[in-house]
Amino acid sequence: MDATLPVDDIIAQLGPQALSAAVGALLASRPAEARDHVELTEVMAHLLGNVALPAGAKGWQAQLRLRQAIIAVAAQTPGLRYVPGDS
């Protein structure tokens, strides 16, 4: 069996309070006129911090798991909603 990756620990600890805190930190770092949304990729980068994803398929799978976890937790978090983009 594959060993767990650091991203798995991030996902395991991700709940509404942690996601709200991450989004709040990202919004607070912006000028007031730019505080209407954050990109999913920004939230992912914030949560990952200095954690590097592995190369290749394992890294892509880890990125997809994190993306899916953020979307699922956002659906359970008052005041947050995920809006899919065009790209």
Contact indicator for 44, 63 with CB cutoff of 8 Å: yes
Nearest CA to 65 out of 77, 76, 53 is that of 53
Residue-wise pLDDT tens for the chain (87 aa)?
A: 356 779 999 999 999 999 999 999 999 999 999 899 999 999 999 999 999 999 999 999 999 999 999 999 999 999 999 999 865
Residue-wise DSSP of 6-36: HHHHHHHH--HHHHHHHHHHHHHTS-GGG-S
Strand, helix or coil at 40?
A: helix
- Predicted TM-score (pTM) above 0.75: yes
Nearest CA to 18 out of 72, 87, 61 is that of 72
